[in-house]
Copies of this chain bind each other. A is one copy, B any other.
Amino acid sequence: MPVLVVKFGGTSVSDVTRIRAAANIIANCQKEGFSVVVVVSAMGGDTDRLVDLAQSISCHPARREFDMLLASGEQVSVALLAIALNERGVKSKSYLADQIQFVTDAQHTRANIVRVEVDKLFQSVAVGEVPVIAGFQGVSTDGEITTIGRGGSDTTAVVIAAAMDAEECRIYTDVDGVYTADPRIVEHATRMERISFEEMLEMAALGAKVLQTQSVEYSRRHSVRLRVLSSFKNGGGTVIDTEENERMTNLPVSAVTYDKNDAKITVRHVPDVPGVAYQLLGPIADSGISVDMIVQNVSVDERTDLTFTVPRENFDVSLKILNRSVPKLCKEYPPDDGKLIEVIGDDTIAKVTVVGLGMRSNVGVASKMFETLAQYGINIQMISTSEIKISVVIHVDFCEVAVRVLHTAFGLDAPKD
């Protein structure tokens, strides 16, 4: 029988009723004719509760112990789901990472997956059992419990799906698929039947929190077909795969996303000589802060402006780091016309992005995007593009309206009833 890997997120197993519902979904997948393998996250809220406990004891909990602690969350949910499955007549056994040898390196709290042994899982499904595997956790080669980073259960599921050559990997979550825009903002947003890995990756990276980026990347590399669907209502969800079918390409733009979690920093009157950008951005990156969109203006009098974005939570730290670097730079390149190097921060921005494979064969997308925003008086502060997306930074107050007007302009609105 073909193998189907199904994964349930925390909200899908957050209480007894939902655990029973998940057991029903699994039973139905079996009836479809699949050998079902299940991956589960901790019960919704459990991981946060454990994190709070640890942090109320220590600001920097010993990382080995932190992993030991967090891994217990998935142990609870796999056991309860296996109990629910057996109760409704579906033979089932739960497995921890060390029991199936889901092996990682020893980098606690962000371990890298080394290999997974699936013999035990194949044996389990061969006798009609449903193995229920604890997501998020791993075991190091010397028997230590590790975790692979928050949201890692998606990746656990995909890795197992790849190793078992599964027909499909279904991610059950609290949304019923991937939408052309956030339905809370755009009334006429529609669920996409299909989306390509490339588009999904752009969307995941841009704050559409449906799937963990790493899991999409892994799926693409190992050609695992993903399907995102709701554990609360019926429906086919959204398939994420490589086939570029008609739906994907007959419109230049597939979706409009936004992200309010960035802040913008501008350094003015930077000497326009090689190495200066590195002198400014290097120390920030070295602190583990991911510097995103970077824009440098054309030079005037050998001075230029450098603008970039950082996650809003790292905004203050980034400013502090810059204010240490700038005086050194001033000494090295004394301003000769009174134009001092200055740092300007702005955390009232939003990034709005249009994503679409169809963009590759359609040159008019950028100009249409800028024209639309201009029509509504929305000023563009920064622009960044890739082959299949265009992002603009605008004032945060215009975020929702920008998403709505772009959704309409690119023909994504659902037909009105």
Say whether chain A's binding surface is mostly helix, strand, loop, or mixed.
helix
Contact A143 B62 (CB under 8 A): no
- Rounded to whole angstroms, the CA-CA distance of A263 and B80 in the bound complex is 36
Contacting residues of chain A (72-93) with chain B, CB-CB under 8 angstroms? 72-73, 75-76, 78-80, 82-84, 86-87, 92-93
Contact B54 A66 (CB under 8 A): no
Give the number of chain A interface residues (Cβ < 8 Å): 37
A94 at interface by CB-CB < 8 Å: yes
Contact B16 A87 (CB under 8 A): no
Q: A70: shortest Cβ distance to chain B, in Å?
A: 8
A326 at interface by CB-CB < 8 Å: no
Contact A80 B54 (CB under 8 A): yes
Instruction: Give how many copies assemble into the complex.
Output: 2
Chain A window 41-66, contacts with chain B (Cβ cutoff 8 Å), 1 for yes, 0 for no: 00000000010011011100110111
A69 at interface by CB-CB < 8 Å: yes
Contact B78 A68 (CB under 8 A): yes
Contact A82 B65 (CB under 8 A): yes
Contacting residues of chain A (295-323) with chain B, CB-CB under 8 angstroms? none
Chain A window 319-347, contacts with chain B (Cβ cutoff 8 Å), 1 for yes, 0 for no: 00000000000000000000000000000
A217 at interface by CB-CB < 8 Å: no
Known: A72-B72, A86-B58, A87-B58. A66 touches B79 (CB 8 A): yes
- Rounded to whole angstroms, the CA-CA distance of A54 and B80 in the bound complex is 6
Chain A window 164-183, contacts with chain B (Cβ cutoff 8 Å), 1 for yes, 0 for no: 00000000000000000000
Chain A: residues with CB nearer than 8 A to chain B?
16, 19-20, 50, 53-54, 56-58, 61-62, 64-66, 68-69, 71-73, 75-76, 78-80, 82-84, 86-87, 92-94, 96, 98-99, 143, 145
What 5 pairs across the A-B complex have the smallest Cβ distances?
Answer: A69-B79, A58-B87, A68-B79, A72-B75, A62-B86
